[in-house]
Structure 1
Amino acid sequence: MTQEDTTNKIGKYFGWIAWIIAIGMLVFFFQELLDKQQNPNSSPTSYLSENGLNEVHLKRNKQGHYITSGKINQQSVIFLLDTGATDVSIPEHIADKLNLPRYNKYQVSTANGYTYVYRSVINELKIGDITLYNVEANINPSFKSDEILLGMSALKQLELHQSGNTLKLREQN
C-alpha cells in the first residue's frame, strides 16, 4: 500500500466522521426546535397583575394545546391543561417517581372509556410563581403519557383568560 492510498483512506475516514458529527448536530438542533413546538412554555414566565396577583401567560402549541412545565412537591413535571378532566390526573409511572400517596380505588370515565384510578392529594403544585396547595388528584395506572393532565381540581382555583393563542392563568383573590 502506498503513502497516497493510506492518505486517501484516512481522508475518507475523516470525511465519514465529519458527516456523522454534522448529522448529529442537525438532529440535536431540530430536536430542540421540535421540543419547543411541543412545549412552548418550558420556562413559564410570571407577571404581577394590576391587583398584585401572580399571573402566568401560556402559549398554545402547534396542536392547539396548552402544555407547560411546572412542579409537584418541588419536582419538575409537564402539565397538559385539560378543562374536561375533573381532577389532576397523573400517570402511575410519574406518581411513583413523585412518591404520591394512594388512597381508595374508584372508577372514572375517560376519553378512552372507563378505568380505575387511585385517589391522591398533591401537597404543592407550581406553575411559574403560582402555587396551589392540597390539590385533589388521581393516579391512573392505564395512562402511559409523560404529561400530567391539569384538570379542574387545580384550574378551578385560578382565573383563566384566553385571547388568541395565549392563555392567562391568574391567582384568585
Structure 2
Amino acid sequence: MSTQRPGQRIGRVMLVLAWGAGLLLATRFFGEWQASRENPNQAPQSRHAENYVEVQLAGDGRGHFIASGQINEQPVSFLLDTGATDVAIPQSVAERLGLERGEAVGLMTANGRSEGYRTRLRSLRIGDIVLQDVRALVAPGFDGERVLLGMSALRQLEFTQRDGTLVLRRYTPNRTQE
C-alpha cells in the first residue's frame, strides 16, 4: 500500500513538470542567444532617406560582419569579405538556390588554388538594399553555409566601419518631380 497523501503525488508531478518547462525555456533561450552571437544581424534594419537606403550591421564577437539576406528571393547568410573579388557561394548553397554553373575559372583562396564556376544572381538583398544581376562564383571546395559577400556586390555600395558597426549605403537615382 502507498503511504503517500493524495496531494503529495500531484505535487511531485507538478514539480517535475515545472523543472521540465524550466529546462525547455533555458534551452530555447540559450539557442537564441547562441544564434544571435553567430549572426547578430538576423533581421537587418534599413533606414530610408531621400536618395539612399542604409543598413547598419553589428560585428560579431570576432569582428566579422555576418548578416541574413536573400539571393534570388531565397534566404542565405552572408559573411562580408572585402578581400573577395566576387560573391562566392558554397556548392551546397548554390544547389539549394538552383544556380547554374557557367564557365570554369581558377580560384586563388586562402587554402590555395581551386576551381570554381561563374554564375549570375538575379537579385541579392540585405535589408532593403537590393542589387540586381550580380556576378558570382560557385565554389565547390568552399565548405559551410555562408556566402562570401565580395566586391562584385560591395562595389555597388558605399560602406564605412566605425565602433564595431558597418554601414552599407545604396544610393538611388534622384527622381524628378512631375
Fold shared per TM-score above 0.5: yes
Q: How does 1:65-104 map to 2 (within 5 A)?
A: 65-104=64-103
Aligned residue type for 1:25: L
1:23 and 2:28 are equivalent in the alignment? no
Q: Judging changes above 3 Å, is the alpha-carbon distance between structure 1 residues 6 and 102 closer, same or farther for their aligned structure 2 residues?
A: farther
- In structure 2, C-alpha distance between the alignment counterparts of 1:34 and 1:123, rounded to whole Å: 32
> Following the alignment from structure 1 to structure 2, what is the Cα–Cα distance between the partners of residues 9 and 114?
67
> Could you say if the C-alpha distance between residues 46 and 16 of structure 1 is closer, same or farther in structure 2, counting changes exceeding 3 Å?
same
The one-letter code matched in structure 1 to 2:101 is R
CA-CA distance at 1:10 after TM superposition: 7.0
Partner of 1:58: 57
Query: What is the CA distance between 1:15 and its match in structure 2?
Result: 4.1
Match of 2:123 in 1: 124
Hey, what does 1:38 align to over in structure 2? 38
Q: Amino acid of the residue matched to residue 80 of structure 1?
A: L
Deviation at 1:14, TM superposition (A): 5.2
Tell me the percent identity: 42
Query: Structure 1 5/91 Cα, relative in aligned 2: closer, same or farther at 3 Å?
Result: farther
Unaligned runs of 5+ in 1: none
TM-superposed CA distance for 1:21, in Å, is: 3.0
Structure 2 Cα separation of the partners of residues 19 and 106 of structure 1:
57
Gaps of 5+ in 2: 174-178
Q: 1:10 to 1:142 in 2, by over 3 A?
A: farther
Task: Please state whether the residue corresponding to 1:90 is helix, strand or coil.
Answer: strand
- What TM-score does the superposition give when structure 2 sets the normalisation length? 0.87
Alignment deviations for residues 47-100 of structure 1 (CA, whole Å, 9 cap, x no partner): 124x52111111111111111111111111110000111110111111111111
Aligned to 1:164: 163
1:112 Cα deviation (Å)? 1.7
Secondary structure of 2:4 counterpart: helix
* Count of aligned pairs between the two proteins: 172
Cα distance change of structure 1 residues 8 and 105 upon mapping to structure 2, 3 Å threshold: farther
RMSD (Å), alpha carbons: 2.0
Q: In structure 2, how many angstroms separate the alpha carbons of the residues matched to 1:110 and 1:69? A: 24
User: CA shift at 1:30, angstroms?
Assistant: 1.2
**Distance (Å, rounded) in 1 between the aligned partners of 2:15 and 2:89:** 48
1:133 counterpart = 2:123: no
Name the stretch that deviates more: 21-30 or 72-81.
21-30
SS in 2 for 1:117: strand
Aligned-pair distance for 1:113?
A: 1.7
